[in-house]
Copies of this chain bind each other. A is one copy, B any other.
Amino acid sequence: MNINLRETFKKCKYKFSGHGNNTIDVLKESFKNIPSEIDADIYGEGHVIENFENKIANLLGKDSARFYPSGTMAQQNALRVHCDEVGISKVILHPLAHLEKREEYGLKYLHNIDSILVGDETRIYTLDDLKGIKERYSVVLLELPARDIGGEMPTWEELVAMSEYTKANNIRFHLDGARLWEAQPYYNRTLKEICSLFDSIYVSFYKGIGGVAGAILAGNSNFISQAKIWQRRYGGNLISLYPYVIPANYYLEKRLGNMSKYWDCAKDCAARLNKIDGVETFPLIPKSNLFHVHIYKNKKEIESALNFIYKKISIGITPALTKIGKKYKFEISMGDRYSSLSKIQLDEFFNLLEEKL
């Protein structure tokens, strides 16, 4: 009998990852206490959007910030501005960067910017990697944490050294901060301190924050002025962005203070998983709310175990498995949900997993 894990997962009342069901109530909740007579923003102008941009610029310690409908657009715009200023159409990306894997090569097709890929599927790149590159390039894009490598992050010292190296060599250092909020507790430094190492930063408002969509690009004023021109070229300065700005602001207020808690949940969950034979998390101790789970069993065994548990106790850990080599992998990304599970529920889940795998 074929198992439809996604279906059984979907029916689970409880889940490990995320904040809750992704329904339109996410938007409705954020608008509940917003007065109806507030003016819509018009093409990027208006109190709601400008106040939010200023708030994030301050939070990240940058001169200027611009709200974007998507991070894809924000980052391509950022890289183009940097490349034009430095004068070389080449950037350093990890082979698993969003720009390489999930954007249909927009950077190449729309800007003719080439990527030099550094690092591999098991590790992020280091300062030594950068030093080894003989070609000239304009930008190093670093993702913190690196989602597709289980949320890996360089040490603070390594980060500072990379920042100094890029500065000394007229290379721009761009932060793919899709999950920067989630990365911050690991460094135990303020967002401002982290961002001071970078020339430009993209942050996201769904993922850990749990808004509806949208991103911010931050940097110095001249950089943002130029990015805005590209945003218009993309058709990205929509007539009104408040449907994303208001949830972004609401859930940022609600959840920014929870990032350490989500990290604790990840560490708790990983420790419980690592006790089970044939199961290993990557990293062994998560560095943020996000980590990967590797299971050294065949697909049928894993699916059958998970399916049994989902049906029996209605707690879901993943909707799907990805094959890598001889093992199977899935991602866990902690939000409000995990801590709402009782110790009894968690014990039951992990006992069953150990028993059935």
Q: Are B73 and A235 in contact (CB under 8 A)?
A: yes
The interface bits of chain A over 228-257 (1 if a CB of B lies within 8 angstroms of the residue's CB, else 0) are 011011111011111110100000000000
Q: How large is the interface on A (under 10, 10 to 19, 20 to 34, 35 or more residues)?
A: 35 or more
Q: Give A24 to B102 CA distance when docked, in angstroms.
A: 33
Q: What are the residues of chain B within 8 A of A244 when measuring CB–CB?
A: 243
Expressed in whole angstroms, the minimum distance between the Cβ of A41 and any Cβ of chain B is 9
Q: Which of A26-34, A167-175, A325-333 contacts B (4 or more CB under 8 A)?
A: A26-34
Interface status of A324 (Cβ within 8 A of chain B): no
| Interface 1/0 per residue, A102-130 and B, CB below 8 Å | 11111001110000000000000000000
Q: A212-B40, A213-B240, A240-B213 are in contact. Are A24 and B235 (CB under 8 A)?
A: no
**Cα–Cα distance between A118 and B110 once the two chains are bound (Å):** 26
Binds B, one of A64-72, A149-157, A266-274, A280-288: A64-72
Copy number in the complex reads 2
Does A39 lie within 8 Å of B23, measured CB to CB?
A: yes
Of B25, B39, B106, B213, the contact of A232 (CB 8 Å cutoff): B106
Q: In the complex, what residue of chain B is closest to A243 when comparing beta carbons?
A: B243
The answer to whether the Cβ of A36 comes within 8 Å of any Cβ in the partner chain is: yes
A206 on interface, CB distance cutoff 8 Å: yes
Query: Are B23 and A38 in contact (CB-based, < 8 A)?
Result: yes
Please, what's the 1-or-0 string for A204-222, where 1 marks a CB less than 8 Å from any CB in chain B?
0010000011000000000
Q: Are B240 and A103 in touch, CB under 8 angstroms?
A: no
Contact (Cβ within 8 A) A24 B106: no
Instruction: Report the separation of the CA atoms of residues A102 and B68 in the bound assembly, to the nearest whole angstrom.
Output: 18
- Bound Cα distance A231, B302 (Å): 36
Please report the C-alpha to C-alpha distance between residue A36 and residue B111 in the assembled complex, in whole angstroms.
41
Is A307 in the interface zone, CB < 8 Å from B? no
**A235–B103 CB distance below 8 A:** yes
> Is A74 close to B, CB under 8 A?
yes
Residues in chain B near residue A289, CB distance under 8 A? none
Say yes or no for A37: interface residue by CB 8 A criterion: yes
27 contacts between A and B (CB under 8 A): A21-B37, A22-B240, A23-B37, A23-B38, A23-B39, A24-B35, A24-B36, A24-B38, A24-B39, A24-B48, A25-B36, A27-B31, A28-B31, A31-B31, A40-B212, A69-B69, A69-B236, A69-B238, A74-B235, A103-B232, A104-B233, A105-B233, A106-B232, A106-B234, A212-B240, A212-B242, A234-B235
Q: A70-B236, A212-B240 known; 6 other A-B pairs, CB under 8 Å?
A: A24-B38, A69-B69, A72-B232, A73-B234, A73-B235, A103-B235
